[in-house]
Amino acid sequence: MNHLFLPVDAPVDAALRGFALAHPGLVSLHEDPLYVTARDRHPGRRVGLLSGGGSGHEPLHAGFVGRGMLDAAVPGRVFASPHNRQVYEASRAVAGGDGVLHVVKNYTGDRINFGIAAERLRADGIPVRRVLVDDDLATDDAETATGRRGTGATVVVEKLLGGAADAGLGLDELAEAGAAFAAASRSIAVAARAQTAPGRGGEAFALADGEIEYGVGIHGERAARTVPRPDFADLVDRMTQQVLDGLPDPEDAVLLLVNGLGATTLLELYAIHDRVRHQLDKRGVRVAGQLVGTFVPALDMSGFSVTVTALRENWLDWWHAPALTPAFPLSETAR
């Protein structure tokens, strides 16, 4: 059956209206084409920051619109890329004196649609650069030309870019910094139950009892492997080690994201966080900042992901820089 509570017609439009009504002090809604913008912007920011992608990953991206993070978010339909007209119009609305930076998760549809919008913006004389997020280790050795998928690291990249933009970086510096944030981030995800298939209902893919998808994507892309479920500690340890080993340039200090994929509870995510920290301690890795919660889900999938970003100089200041958005947690900025 279909467990989702959504209107049949234009569910994303309804959700974005309800989102704007919930956060009237922080965001403004634009209905045609559909996007949201921040009500407030740091006076030092020279570049507009915009992200977007398919819906069904909330709070991404709209929940990170606001002072200190994104200036605009552009939602597509569920698991579908936004139209280039949405990206184009939203970009025009938030471009700064030094242009606009697009934060794009690495999926073909998003690359194409953001790319078309970027060409149109350049034709208007608005400078545009792109940061591509591609953190998912499950697709690291895929035999395709598309590269790694963009998943949980997106929220980390958006927060760091927000801090860097407020520090006054220009478009090219910001694009280079964003590429470095993405390059320093790796993730791995598992699922014990697929998300509900939007529309038709039912589970989007079937898992046998006692099996998990190891390396699942955030749209129900099947995993690299369906494997017998390890016990709790073994599973978390294996994921943590894989992410650490997958970092191109490991550092002593990292940012950590323990992310729920939708139906996985905070009780579980905090218990997972406890185990990840135990492993990081054993490896001598210091956690300088952490997020634990549902930040980049795949609708109502039962599962979670672990993301690690190896920190470099200055980055921690940008991580802890003030942010006032619907979904970025207070506890990471109020210190």
Residues taking part in catalysis: 57, 219
- CA count, 13 A, side-chain hemisphere, 198: 20
Listed ranges 81-89, 115-123, 215-223, 324-332: which one lies at the site for a copy of itself (CB under 8 A): 324-332
Distances (CA, A) of 235 to 49, 241, 265, 303: 36, 10, 17, 12
Q: Check residue 326 for interaction with a copy of itself (CB under 8 A).
A: yes
Q: Check residue 102 for interaction with a copy of itself (CB under 8 A).
A: no
Q: Check residue 200 for interaction with a copy of itself (CB under 8 A).
A: no
Per CB under 8 A, the list member of 97, 146, 147, 232 interacting with a copy of itself is: 232
Classify 51 as helix, strand or coil: strand
Greatest CA separation for the chain: 56
Listed ranges 82-90, 117-125, 213-221, 323-331: which one lies at the site for a copy of itself (CB under 8 A): 323-331
Cβ closest to a copy of itself, residue 160 vs residue 212: 212
Cβ closest to a copy of itself, residue 14 vs residue 142: 14
Distance CA 189, CA 324 (A): 28
Instruction: Name the burial class of residue 21, with classes exposed (0-12), middle (13-18) and buried (19+) by CB atoms within 10 angstroms of its CB.
Output: exposed
Classify 222 as helix, strand or coil: coil
Q: Measured at the alpha carbon of residue 294, what is the angle toward residues 147 and 180, in degrees to the nearest 5?
A: 40
Long-range contacts of 14-19 (CB under 8 A, 24+ apart): 15/55, 15/58, 16/62, 16/75, 19/62, 19/63, 19/326
Closest CA to 295 of 177, 223, 147, 187: 187
Smallest distance, Å, CB 249 to a copy of itself?
A: 25
Q: Alpha carbon 49 to chain centroid distance?
A: 14
HEC string for 2-44? CCCCCCCCCHHHHHHHHHHHHCCCCEEEECCCCEEEECCCCCC
Smallest distance, Å, CB 120 to a copy of itself?
A: 28
Residues 265-294 within binding reach of a copy of itself (CB under 8 A): 265-275, 277, 290-292, 294
The count of residues interacting with a copy of itself (CB under 8 A) is 69
Cβ closest to a copy of itself, residue 169 vs residue 194: 194
Binding mask 151-190 for a copy of itself (x = CB under 8 A): ----------------------------------------
Per CB under 8 A, the list member of 35, 64, 304, 318 interacting with a copy of itself is: 304
Residue ranges in contact with a copy of itself by CB under 8 A: 1-8, 11-12, 14-19, 21-23, 25-26, 55-56, 58-59, 63, 78, 192-193, 207, 209-210, 231-233, 235, 262-275, 277, 290-292, 294, 297, 299-300, 302-304, 324-326, 329-331, 334-335
